[in-house]
Amino acid sequence: MLSPLLIIFAALLLATLTWLKTRWQNQTFATAHGCLPAPRYQQPETILGVQNVVEAARAWKANTWLEMWYHRFTTIGPTFQASSLGRTTIFTIDPENVKAVLATKFKHFDLGPRRMKILGPLTGPGIFTNDGTSWEHSRSLVRPTFTKVQPDRRSGSVEADLQPLFFRLTLDSATELLLGRSFGSLLSPPGSNALRFMHAFDYAQCRIHVHGLRESPALRPFAWIQSLFAAKKKSKFDEACETVHRTLDGSLPSSSREEKEAPGGKEKYVFLHEIANETRDPLQLRHETLNLLLAGRDTTAALLSNTFFVLARRPDIWARLRSEIDQTFEGSIPDYDGLRTVKYIRNLLNESLRLYPVVPWNSRIATENTTLPHGGGPDGRSPVFVRAGQLVNYHLWSMHRMPEHFGPDSHVFNPDRWDDSTLRPGWACIPFNGGPPICVGQQYALTQAAYVVVRLVQQFESIECHDASTPWSEHVGLVTSSRTGTKVSLRPRNMPR
């Protein structure tokens, strides 16, 4: 006869033995690799780590989430561990660790299923959500387009808040690049297909985290409760995804060969044409296209709105741009090669991406027991053990602000710092990520942003704002942009076009 007491005792014994075994395995691996523990974020309890989540949620609500992280890194150290909802995560802004995760130990880290679970309902699987061989395949499909493309030629228009205009502009240029035909949202009336698509795409994106919360390990056990209620009625999120899919499917040409020649005979690079040899499966075309739209549209718009937020407050930079741009282009429309010759524009965009990285943090999950080179021990110079399945978060926002990488004026917006030949940030400044998964659209985005800067400088005498004392504040979604938009007044020039 087994007494209940004995069963409880046996269970406890088994749990303890399992724990000891893991601990022993942990220690053997850590010792073999010279690892020491990284400092811990001081939490009242680390089993659930509730306080951590509450604090982060508060900061999020107060729009000080990025600053909260900066504060943690500067007080605890560049690499530390913290618990949230039962998981211990490693947080780092050490460039060597970031390099390990993205490049030297690339094979030891993955996106894991999380990104696909969160973004999947909107985009389906593709370059941005896949891991392993599926990712390699998507990457080889997508990359050729970006080694050849030149951005289109289109200019912005005058209005009070530039931010929503930039988001329309990049929707239009991205659809032109991906589908061969721009949605033309800048010029579309309310109620048009283009705007319906845009609103659905924006809505799905801003709800995607809430929707994705269901997939968080802490809440997953309760998902069935939600499904009892959700099954009956389609959510607004599902409807938005459907609108996106329907509109996009309607824009996929029945024959991807049409429209290969742009007017004037110059070949236009269109993503759909480039991959037509590889696949004509409508579902795959939709998924790869939406992956690119998601990766490329809001990012470029956020870069532009952050940059113009600063320009409206820095007449000195505007004046400098004006003199360089007038000298180089003499009022004519810039071309691809011309844009690359104005180093000051690149410095400006570099500085914008340094202080306002539009992807301010990122993460990977260890696929095997591995190590990060830095962060362990009292001096932080020893490697740190990362167990298979553990999450490593890296925070560009904080890393890009560290005086040890950018000098004592690291918080100052100064494009000229990029002229200093001793400034070699390497892995300390990676707004486009690095290693094998580096952004494929980097050149495209920088060229397009430079083009918009040049055209606006050519059109307008000055740019000002009415709230110069208001500092930039965060709006952290899938990308990070100015929460208060980019409200400016632009005074036209009297220059012949």
**Segment 352-381, which members bind ligand NAG (CB under 6 A)?**
368-369
Per rule CB under 6 A, is residue 71 in the interface with ligand NAG?
no
* Binding test (CB under 6 A) with ligand NAG, winner from 22, 104, 341, 470: 22
- Type of residue at 437: P
Cβ count within 10 A of residue 430: 24
User: Residues 403, 413, 362, 103: what is their CA dihedral angle, to the nearest 10 degrees?
Assistant: -60
Per rule CB under 6 A, is residue 222 in the interface with ligand NAG?
no
Where residue 80 falls (left for φ over 0; alpha for ψ -120 to 50; beta otherwise) is: beta
Q: Where does 149-281 have alpha helices with state H?
A: 162-179, 193-213, 223-230, 236-251, 271-274
User: Given the DSSP bridges, would you call strands 87-92 and 391-395 parallel, antiparallel or unpaired?
Assistant: parallel
Helices 193-213, 236-251: inter-axial angle, 10-degree rounding: 140
CB of 373 to ligand NAG, least distance (A): 16
Classify burial at 480, counting beta carbons within 10 Å of its beta carbon; exposed 0-12, middle 13-18, buried 19 or more.
buried
Per rule CB under 6 A, is residue 260 in the interface with ligand NAG?
no
* Binding test (CB under 6 A) with ligand HEM, winner from 303, 391, 399, 428: 303
Q: Is the Cβ–Cβ distance between 326 and 459 less than 8 Å?
A: no
Task: Please give the residue whose beta carbon sits closest to ligand HEM in the complex.
Answer: 441
Is the Cβ of residue 86 or residue 492 nearer to ligand NAG in the bound state?
A: 86
Per rule CB under 6 A, is residue 294 in the interface with ligand HEM?
no
CB of 33 to ligand HEM, least distance (A): 26
Q: Is the Cβ–Cβ distance between 465 and 484 less than 8 Å?
A: no
3-state DSSP call for residue 46?
A: coil
DSSP secondary structure letters along 365-411:
EESSSEEEEEEESTTS-EEEEE-TT-EEEEEHHHHTT-HHHH-TTTT
CB proximity list for 197: less than 8 A, separation 6 or greater: 183, 185, 243, 244, 247, 248
Per rule CB under 6 A, is residue 43 in the interface with ligand NAG?
no
Per rule CB under 6 A, is residue 439 in the interface with ligand HEM?
yes
The residue range among 4-12, 250-258, 296-304, 464-472 that interacts with ligand HEM, by the rule CB under 6 A, is 296-304
Residue 171 binding target from ligand HEM, ligand NAG, none, CB below 5 to 8 Å by type: none
Is the Cβ of residue 136 or residue 420 nearer to ligand NAG in the bound state?
A: 420
Per rule CB under 6 A, is residue 139 in the interface with ligand HEM?
yes
Residue 128 binding target from ligand NAG, ligand HEM, none, CB below 5 to 8 Å by type: ligand HEM
The residue range among 15-23, 39-47, 279-287, 441-449 that interacts with ligand HEM, by the rule CB under 6 A, is 441-449
| Interface mask toward ligand HEM for 89-128; x: CB under 6 A | --------------------------------------xx
Flag whether 439 is marked binding: yes
The residue range among 40-48, 161-169, 290-298, 384-392 that interacts with ligand NAG, by the rule CB under 6 A, is 384-392
The residue range among 4-12, 74-82, 206-214, 291-299 that interacts with ligand HEM, by the rule CB under 6 A, is 291-299
Give the angle 103-110-15 at the CA atoms, nearest 5°: 125
Helix (H) or strand (E) holding 83: strand 79-84
Where do contacts with ligand NAG occur on this chain (CB under 6 A)? 19, 22-23, 25-26, 29, 88, 274, 277, 343, 346-347, 350, 368-369, 385, 387-388, 390, 418, 425, 429
